[in-house]
């Protein structure tokens, strides 16, 4: 008797049940996700603070904007006082994210940088080309951190000025990705 009481509702449900309306089909298209880890949709801009410039007493800010998927344009400015002199620094370049999606994963950074003392207008800008490799994290809420290291070749704009040659580069940026 107990088995009959359990079988009757089950048979009733099975005969009345039709196909599920929320079933996924091959025609379904996911439009708001890049992958399963990116529930917020594609990211397009990162605004960050240059942590190493800040640790030297400078103010350094940077931004990256998506150009195409996996490639972002980079722009950074920094300035501050180092000893008795005041300096300005600017860089522009590209950030390439080959492995995952933009602003998360392995990153290759190419930059053209310029540095000049602000307190001596006769001193020339020093120009450098830099190549760095690293990793960028972007958490689902938008917090971002990038660590990279590489080298730059620097040259003064006026011949005979000091500080030409290869230099190490380390990049630490913390910010927010939108």
What's the token pair of residue 16? 């009345």
Q: Could you read off the pLDDT of 150-170 as tens digits, one per residue?
A: 999 988 766 655 567 899 999
Residue 90 belongs to some domain of the structure: yes
Residue 56 belongs to some domain of the structure: yes
Instruction: Count up the domains in the chain and report the number.
Output: 1
Q: Are 80 and 88 in contact (CB under 8 A)?
A: no
Q: Could you read off the pLDDT of 2-12 as tens digits, one per residue?
A: 655 566 665 65
CB atoms within 10 A of CB 21: 5
Closest to 118 (Cα-Cα) out of 54, 30, 59: 59
Residue 33 belongs to some domain of the structure: no
Q: Could you read off the pLDDT of 26-47 as tens digits, one per residue?
A: 666 655 554 444 555 678 999 9
Residue 25 belongs to some domain of the structure: no
DSSP per residue over 27-86, as a string? T----S-SSTT-TT----EEEEEEHHHHHTT-EEEEEEEEEETTEEEEEEEEEEEETTEE
Residue 34 belongs to some domain of the structure: no
User: What does pLDDT average to over the chain?
Assistant: 81
Residue 126 belongs to some domain of the structure: yes
Q: Are 153 and 166 in contact (CB under 8 A)?
A: yes
Domain range for 160: 45-177
Provide CB contacts within 8 A for 32, sequence distance 6+: 41
């Amino acid at each position: 008797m107990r088995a009959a009481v359990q079988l009757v509702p089950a048979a009733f449900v099975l005969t009345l049940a039709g196909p599920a309306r929320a079933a996924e089909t091959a025609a379904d298209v996911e439009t708001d996700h890049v992958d399963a880890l990116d529930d917020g949709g594609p990211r397009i801009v990162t605004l960050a603070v240059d942590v190493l410039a800040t640790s030297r007493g400078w103010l350094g800010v940077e931004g990256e904007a998506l150009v195409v998927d996996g490639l972002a344009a980079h722009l950074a400015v920094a300035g501050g006082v180092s000893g008795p002199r005041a300096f300005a620094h600017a860089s522009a370049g590209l950030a390439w994210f080959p492995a995952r999606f933009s602003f998360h994963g392995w990153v290759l950074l190419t930059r053209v940088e310029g540095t000049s003392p602000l307190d001596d207008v006769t001193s020339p800008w020093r120009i450098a080309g830099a190549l760095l490799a690293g990793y960028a994290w972007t958490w689902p809420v938008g917090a971002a951190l990038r660590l990279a290291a590489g080298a730059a070749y620097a040259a003064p704009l006026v011949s005979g000025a000091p500080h030409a040659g290869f230099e190490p580069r380390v990049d630490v940026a913390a910010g927010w990705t939108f």
